[in-house]
Amino acid sequence: MEKLEQIFSFINEKSEQYEQKNESTYLEGVLLTLEDVLDEKIDWTFKDASKEDIRKAIQLAILKGMRKSSQPNHQMTPDTLGLLVGYFVEQFMEEKLKDGPVSILDPAVGTGNLLLTVMNMLDGKTFSTGIEVDEMLIRLAADTAELTQQPLMLYHQDALQKMLVDPVDVVVSDLPVGYYPNEDVAVDYELCALEGMSYAHHLFIEQSINYSKEGAFLFFLVPVNLFESEQSKELHKYLKKNAWIQAVIQLPDGLFANKTLEKSILILQKQSKVHRAPREVLLAKVPSMSNKQALAAFFEKVRIWKDNK
């Protein structure tokens, strides 16, 4: 058995034991198992496993748990998206990474899967902060970060309220989509809706820019119709003032089971006096991951754009 399968079987078996004792759901069982490992209540024999094997094995167990007890906010960013975001972070941060580690913020960190995928890709070159409102998800993120030995500081709070975070070099986030219920908080945002409730994903973009350094890059997974909604005019206006759109990347067909959940990658740079807007916004579509030739052509297109930007 591969290491990843061995780790998954281990977590799976212990989580099922918790579930069968009727004390918890399978997902809570995963959390309790990880905590038992960290508290050294059970023996962890995978000390030589790679960070990616550990992350992926935990991811599989969490996915199984989420399928069993479907809660609407329990969504995890899948690997395909995490790896693509990681690739873009590597490309955009190439120069800056030569000067030392970069700081990353994920204001909707969930299970930490997206952020830890990116951190594992740039292993040793990042230190991060994650914010999450859901207690179970943030505990899963904390345990996964500890087991993969990634420097991740976590805060259990509403990310749209004041945060204790210094401005960062990079934001990566799979944004929660929908209306934000706390209107007392929303009024402090430029992107607060003029009428009715504000879009959480718009406020998250503004908040992320607020907590970024000048010239920082921001990588968001956003709904495909971000620039077509009835509140998009204000978003356009806000972005024009505060950020430069670097790229809008469409994702491969068939990646999302449900058309209404389809997302794209939006890459922004916070405006600064020492940088300038790209000559052209990169508009590209990622081909099917199984089409090696088309994928190579896509990466080549990104490289050419980057060399000329």
Can you give the binding site for ligand SAM, defined by CB under 6 A? 73, 75-77, 108, 110-111, 113-114, 131-134, 137, 158-160, 174, 176, 200
> In this complex, which beta carbon is closest to ligand SAM, that of residue 77 or of residue 120?
77
d(CA 187, CA 184): 6
Residue 245 CB neighbours (<10 A): 18
In 137-231, where do the E strands start and end? Answer: 152-156, 168-174, 179-180, 198-199, 212-223
Q: Do residues 118 and 125 lie in contact, with contact meaning Cβ atoms separated by under 8 Å? A: no
Shortest distance in whole angstroms from residue 97 CB to ligand SAM: 22
CB of 53 to ligand SAM, least distance (A): 18
Tokens of 291: 């089409």
Residue 286 C-beta: closest distance to ligand SAM, Å: 18
Q: Which residue, 108 or 235, has its beta carbon nearer to ligand SAM?
A: 108
**Nearer residue to ligand SAM within complex by CB, 155 or 298:** 155
Using alpha carbons only, give the angle 183, 191, 203 rounded to the nearest 5 degrees. Answer: 70
Which tokens in the block code for residue 91?
């490309």
- Residue 58 beta carbon to ligand SAM: minimum distance, rounded to whole angstroms: 11
Q: Which is nearer to ligand SAM, 100 or 196 (by Cβ)?
A: 196
Nearest residue (CB) to ligand SAM, 159 versus 243: 159
User: Using CB atoms, what's the residue nearest to ligand SAM?
Assistant: 110
Rounded least distance, CB 8 to ligand SAM, Å = 17
Environment class of residue 41 by beta-carbon count within 10 Å: exposed (0-12), middle (13-18) or buried (19+)?
exposed
